[in-house]
């Protein structure tokens, strides 16, 4: 009986250690993703917007980007900031509210 209790306690400890590793891995992957760069096509797919809308976001300075040769890249964290800035409820006076 004592061996069974020791085995269960050992497994419980192993599960806690594994959970810690999993949590650490998830957080580090999220941080890696936030600072990764993606292409315009990936932004279009992610936000479900047109190529023209993406260009407008760039032209207006609302979405920072970098260009290497003729390829444009966007930081995932900048896309997240854009979404956060535009997050709101139209009932609270947003620009989409009927006049």
For 24-74, how does the pLDDT look when each residue is reduced to its tens digit (9 = 90+)?
777 666 666 667 899 999 999 999 999 999 999 999 999 999 999 999 999
- As given in the structure block, the two tokens for residue 93 are 């006076």
Looking at 1-99, which runs of residues are DSSP E strands? 37-39, 66-68, 71-75
**pTM for the whole thing?**
0.57
- Number of other CB atoms surrounding residue 36 within 10 Å: 12
Alpha-carbon span 57 to 79, nearest angstrom: 10
Q: Domain ranges in the chain?
A: 1-34, 36-87
């Amino acid at each position: 009986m004592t061996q069974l209790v020791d085995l269960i306690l050992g497994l419980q400890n192993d599960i806690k250690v594994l959970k810690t590793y999993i949590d650490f891995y998830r957080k580090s992957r999220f941080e890696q993703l936030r600072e990764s760069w993606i292409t315009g096509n990936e932004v279009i797919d992610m936000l479900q917007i047109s190529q023209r809308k993406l260009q407008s976001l760039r032209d207006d300075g609302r979405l920072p980007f970098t260009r290497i040769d003729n390829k444009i890249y966007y930081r995932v964290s900048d896309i997240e900031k854009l979404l956060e800035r535009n997050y709101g409820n139209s009932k609270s006076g947003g620009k989409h509210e009927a006049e």
